[in-house]
Structure 1
Amino acid sequence: MKNYKKIISFILILTANFAFACEACKLQQPKITQSFTHGSGPDSKWDWMIVAVIAIITIYTLFYSVKYLVKPGEKNRDHIKNSILN
């Protein structure tokens, strides 16, 4: 178990420098995304709309993924999950 912690820590430390925007990109971004993204930022209102739709879809799928992972609701004794759990 200790090896997994070391591997995860190493990966997080290795990727920490790439997780945030560089100084040049910070100056080109709007205030909301200034430290998090690279590039010139959104060019129009459509870009923000696309980001909002993607965020809603992501939150929706995350919610239902966790919901069905925690409590799947299948009670049939012949369900395939019972062959794995037994």
Structure 2
Amino acid sequence: MKRKITSLLLLLLLHMAAIACAVCERNQPRVLKGITHGAGPNSRWDYLIVWTAVVIVLATLFLSIKWLIRPGEQSGNHIKRSILNNP
């Protein structure tokens, strides 16, 4: 029980630290209000960089899950066969 209460308090404290303060919220653009601390993006290039990174991460995630589920190597002399068939 003590461990659950400690975990709950820790999560609440971490959540409070993640919420932006009033000054930061006022200085952020409308999209980021209440989410982040500090100065917001300085130009449209910042948004372009972030969205490019998001696209790369999502594509990488999609392809890694796809190839993890269905790898597609069918040839009998693929390198994985030397490991799997080794007695």
Q: Provide the TM-score with structure 2 as the length reference.
A: 0.63
Aligned to 2:81: 78
Provide the rounded CA distance (Å) in 2 between the counterparts of 1:36 and 1:65.
29
What stretches of structure 2 of length at least 5 have no aligned partner? none
- Larger helix percent: 2
Task: Kindly name which structure, 1 or 2, has the bigger radius of gyration based on alpha carbons.
Answer: 2
Identity %: 41
CA offset digits 1:46-84 (Å, max 9, x no partner): 11111111111111111112212222233456154x47x
User: Which one-letter code corresponds to 2:81 in the other structure?
Assistant: D
Q: Provide the TM-score with structure 1 as the length reference.
A: 0.64
Seen in structure 2, the aligned counterparts of structure 1 residues 67 and 15 have a Cα distance that, compared at 3 Å, is farther
RMSD of Structure 2 on Structure 1 (CA) = 2.7
Seen in structure 2, the aligned counterparts of structure 1 residues 63 and 27 have a Cα distance that, compared at 3 Å, is same
Provide the rounded CA distance (Å) in 2 between the counterparts of 1:69 and 1:15.
34
Q: CA deviation at 1:41?
A: 0.3
What stretches of structure 1 of length at least 5 have no aligned partner? 1-5
Number of positions where the alignment pairs a residue of Structure 1 with one of Structure 2: 74
Would you identify which runs of 4 or more consecutive aligned residues in structure 1 move more than 3 Å? 74-77
Q: CA deviation at 1:25?
A: 1.3
User: Which one-letter code corresponds to 2:16 in the other structure?
Assistant: N
Provide the rounded CA distance (Å) in 2 between the counterparts of 1:32 and 1:16.
20
Seen in structure 2, the aligned counterparts of structure 1 residues 79 and 20 have a Cα distance that, compared at 3 Å, is farther
Provide the rounded CA distance (Å) in 2 between the counterparts of 1:47 and 1:17.
26
